[in-house]
Amino acid sequence: MILPYFIAIPLLSAFLIALIAGRRDSWAILLSNVAATSLLILSVYVLAARHGETLIYEMGGWMPPLGIVLVQDALTGLMLVLVSLISLLSLIFSVSYIRHLDRSWRYYALFMLLITGMNGVIITGDLFNLFVFMEIALFSAFALVAYGGRAEEYEAAFKYAVMGALSSAIILIGIAVLYSATSTLTMAGIAEVLPEKDPKIMYWVGGLFLAGFGLKAAVIPFHAWLPDAHSSAPAPISAMLSGVLIKVPGIYVLMRVFMNVFGAPDLFMQTFLVLGTVSILIGVFLAVGQWDMKRLLAYHSISQIGYILLGMGLATPLGILGAVFHLFNHAVFKSLLFYNAGAVEVALGTRDLKRMGNLTRILPVTSLTSMVASLSISGIPPFNGFFSKLILIIAAIQAGRPGLALAAAVGSLLTLASFMKLQKYGFRGEREVKTVKATIGWGMKTAMIVLAVCCLLSSFLVMPGIREICLDPVVSVLLDPSRYIQMVMGR
């Protein structure tokens, strides 16, 4: 069975890197990139070859509810492809970038543990194992945020760790309450039994999970840790944090639990609408006033997560389609923007937009790809962000929520204003920059070019024929929880 390899490959790679890498990073780079490439190939195969089919792997041959199961459906397949793609490109970007900090194998071992944890969260069908894998990913992330060894990085990592520990404690309490009420930890089993229990149990646990996983996703008002962590971490780690980490133990788990396990209760869907709208507007307002490039991008992560929550809260087929599509798009263009910020920091030694200028001659690849990413996140056609935001706005109007559609449109306009400032002062300013402190390596350029191309090509995911293969099966999984229960428990 193919599913255990998504955990075994990165976990084994982490141990092999620690075992044989030695003082130099060459073996660590080779092993981590081979592992990440293998994971991308496997994830694309699973998504493309299975055509929305659900795969179940029973650990040790024990069937649920007694045993632990690994589950791969359309949602899982999409998330595995996303994590594998961003991870591989971040590792390629890291080859040149991390060598400006040191040449140790430790970075790559921690990176592979981060992938192990995220893949485990995605494919497990068991709540407690989800918690364990989430902690593996988060402990790796804490160390990677502080990897540069500067005071601000230690401070950001400490804040991230404290908030992460708080949210994990809240989640663990919720899991304990669910187990005491249902006598199972299998998510499909909980979904099967929970309707027979007192509804208050679901509401109490839902409130705990909303706070705990909402903090992992940096939803307002649970966002305080994110600006420091994302702006202080090394650029490829910032890309991982914003591109996939806040989505896997955050948004993905919220989707899986509230849609497939709890059955999309109206109270929580309305809460998602409120939190999503607030996150869109407050996040973008906070971003507009920033002059630190990475901090500006960090606040936009909060705002863009709001769009995903908005689509989830609508709970209509079009709303879920927009949420899933924007989840994918945000990972692509936000990771690219953090790569751009990292390249500029390596070349100029600053993240301050006021100290940048016209970089189009000395950093042509970075300047061009930053423009592509800026247009994508701002929702300008023909780039991917335009289509996912348009779908969400149309979904809000169709659901009789014109106010929410207006809020999404205003958020997009303010996003455009914010990135016009970034382009004007950061990349196309009046001051001509003629020299750089360090050159941009081939790996950094390759990662930026690939994601810039993806910003354009992923727009085709909504085309008829492609959408039915890639996105519609994911929407079906989220809108039909009975199918998830049947596939896992009814075997």
Looking at residue 125, its pLDDT comes to: 87
Q: Label residue 48 by pLDDT band (50, 70, 90).
A: confident
For the residues 231-245, what does the mean pLDDT come to? 89
Looking at residue 438, its pLDDT comes to: 77
pLDDT(199) > 90: no
Looking at residue 334, its pLDDT comes to: 94
**CA–CA gap between residue 5 and residue 1 (Å, rounded):** 8
**CA–CA gap between residue 87 and residue 236 (Å, rounded):** 9
Better-scored residue on pLDDT, 98 or 116: 116
- What pLDDT, in 10s, does the model give residues 203-213? 999 999 999 99
Q: Which two tokens stand for residue 367?
A: 């300047």
- What pLDDT, in 10s, does the model give residues 323-355? 999 999 999 999 999 999 999 988 888 888 888
CA distances from 110 to 36, 146, 384 (A): 13, 12, 31
For residues 365 and 96, the answer to whether their CB atoms sit within 8 Å is no
The number of angstroms, rounded, from the C-alpha of 69 to the middle of its chain's C-alpha atoms is 24
Which of 166-175, 182-191, 221-230, 308-317 is least confident? Answer: 221-230
For the residues 138-153, what does the mean pLDDT come to? 85
Bridge partners, residue 71, by sequence: 56
pLDDT(243) > 70: yes
**CA–CA gap between residue 243 and residue 82 (Å, rounded):** 9
Full residue range of the structural domain in which residue 256 is found: 5-489
pLDDT(491) > 60: no
Nearest to 115 by CA among 10, 185, 27: 10
Q: Label residue 468 by pLDDT band (50, 70, 90).
A: confident
At position 158, the amino acid (one-letter code) is: F
For the residues 379-391, what does the mean pLDDT come to? 93
- What pLDDT, in 10s, does the model give residues 438-457? 788 888 999 999 999 999 99
For the residues 21-27, what does the mean pLDDT come to? 76
pLDDT(66) > 80: no
pLDDT(395) > 60: yes
pLDDT(435) > 60: yes
Q: What angle do CA 304, 306, 310 make, to 5 degrees?
A: 125
Q: Which two tokens stand for residue 182?
A: 């249902």
Better-scored residue on pLDDT, 486 or 328: 328
**CA–CA gap between residue 308 and residue 312 (Å, rounded):** 6
pLDDT(365) > 90: yes
Rg of the chain on CA atoms, in Å:
21
Predicted structure pTM score: 0.93
Looking at residue 154, its pLDDT comes to: 86
**Backbone φ and ψ of 453, nearest 5°:** -65, -40
CA distances from 306 to 74, 214, 255 (A): 23, 11, 14
For the residues 399-426, what does the mean pLDDT come to? 92
pLDDT(64) > 70: no
Looking at residue 60, its pLDDT comes to: 65
3-state secondary structure 261-276: HCCCCHHHHHHHHHHH
Q: Which residue has the tokens 């100029």?
A: 348
* Average pLDDT, rounded, for the chain: 89
Q: Which residue has the tokens 């702006």?
A: 231
Query: By percentage, how much of the chain surpasses pLDDT 70?
Result: 97
Q: Label residue 320 by pLDDT band (50, 70, 90).
A: very high
| 61: alpha, beta or left? (left if phi > 0; alpha if psi -120 to 50) | left
Looking at residue 451, its pLDDT comes to: 95
**CA–CA gap between residue 194 and residue 250 (Å, rounded):** 22
Q: Which two tokens stand for residue 40?
A: 């991308």
For residues 8 and 82, the answer to whether their CB atoms sit within 8 Å is no
Nearest to 284 by CA among 303, 308, 262: 303
Looking at residue 490, its pLDDT comes to: 65
pLDDT(50) > 70: no
Helices 266-288 and 199-216 pack at an angle, to 10 degrees, of: 20
Neighbouring CB atoms inside 10 A of 17's CB total 26
Query: By percentage, how much of the chain surpasses pLDDT 90?
Result: 54
Better-scored residue on pLDDT, 229 or 454: 454
Looking at residue 54, its pLDDT comes to: 77
**CA–CA gap between residue 265 and residue 66 (Å, rounded):** 28
Looking at residue 153, its pLDDT comes to: 82
**CA–CA gap between residue 233 and residue 146 (Å, rounded):** 7
Bridge partners, residue 70, by sequence: 57, 124
**Backbone φ and ψ of 47, nearest 5°:** -70, -40
Q: How many CA atoms lie within 13 A of 149 on its CB side?
A: 5
Q: Which two tokens stand for residue 120?
A: 């485990």
Q: Label residue 65 by pLDDT band (50, 70, 90).
A: low
Residue 407: is it exposed, middle or buried by C-beta count within 10 angstroms (0-12/13-18/19+)? Answer: buried
What is the number of structural domains in the chain? 1
pLDDT(71) > 90: no
